[in-house]
Homo-oligomer: A and B are copies of this chain.
């Protein structure tokens, strides 16, 4: 079960509705039928369904690993399974599912393929998080010791070699295995040729974009770049593409979307995903620890080159604000970064107007995403869910214009890093 703090809240979303569908110009198959029961069942609980499939798959994988070697099964496979099932709000699977549902009611083959890909997305995210924590040397994740810390603790004892080095090595291997299992799932689809090829191509790009986004982050940290364009590129790759746009695209390809619909969904997803990352950057500085999975100011302490900081820097330079520049140069990436530093940076972000500009950008991006969604006919229930998911990921209240006909929970997790 998800355990980490959620930005998402319980929100109202409308169930599928024939009249609404017609009003959006959606080519309905049968406006008055409730749709195949399996689809409706998953619609009502996407995240729990994915979690159930993930649980079943991981049980099989752990058994296979244990049969390979007992120590490997216990130390590596079981730990991987616990981590994957122990948190995360399955946001990428939700985008995938509703991307597919936006195109209508899927058949069993499409549903099976979607669930394979949903499970694959979660395993890929396990790789991303576990390796990210090793790279950042992060002590905690989801209010528990990070996986490499947990591994190190298992064999720590006096007169033994460095347990930290062991913990990091074990976590690298666990991340590798998660990536391998993700690819196994993504490769297990049984789909007709052309669609399978497009899915493979999108899956391949998404993985590469995830790695690229992470790399731009760490390269920005070491070079202490203040480039706004690099910050936006990293945010687009690691969050807009990896977390929102590509999962949506995978779903839409599975659903058989035409090119116009695909473009609109990708564009909406890309904008909302960027808003998601910008909101995450704001939350790192301005949100209390109870609202987040990560310690407040973690990005500042690491010297992560966020757009928010790059903007503050360029504003301060343009204004000749030497005090602000001094604060930014002194505090960012400082190992001993403390509460006073945090307050100083907050003040600079207010004073340069960077905070307000980024908040406005988040709102503009979301508004633009909503307009994109409205340019194409979509399944009405899917449209409502996508609107809600996009708003929530950007930390905005649920969209006000939708009819509230039923209630469903949609929860959103933090960005990849």
A contact set with B: CB distance below 8 Å: 64-65, 68-69, 71-72, 75-76, 127, 131, 134-137, 155, 160-161, 163, 165-166, 168-170, 172-173, 175-177, 179-180, 183-184, 186-188, 200, 204-205, 207-209, 211-212, 214-216, 218-219, 221-224, 230, 233, 237, 303, 333
Contacts and interface: CB of A to CB of B under 8 A. Distances in A.
A136 B205 CA distance: 30
Contacts of A179: 176, 179-180, 183
B173 A211 contact: yes
A163 B209 CA distance: 23
Contacts of A135: 165, 168-169, 172-173
A411 to B, nearest CB: 27
Given A160-B223, A187-B200, A169 B218 contact: yes
A212 B65 contact: yes
Nearest to A185: B204
Given A69-B216, A177-B207, 19 more contacts: A68-B208, A69-B212, A69-B233, A72-B215, A75-B215, A131-B173, A135-B165, A135-B168, A136-B169, A137-B165, A161-B333, A170-B219, A173-B211, A173-B215, A180-B183, A180-B207, A180-B211, A187-B187, A187-B200
A177 B208 contact: yes
A314 B76 CA distance: 28
A315 to B, nearest CB: 24
A212 B161 contact: no
B183 A131 contact: no
A162 B411 CA distance: 37
28 contacts: A64-B205, A64-B208, A65-B212, A71-B219, A72-B212, A75-B219, A76-B211, A76-B215, A131-B172, A134-B169, A135-B165, A135-B173, A136-B169, A160-B223, A161-B222, A163-B222, A166-B221, A169-B218, A170-B215, A170-B218, A170-B219, A173-B211, A176-B179, A179-B179, A179-B183, A180-B183, A180-B207, A187-B200
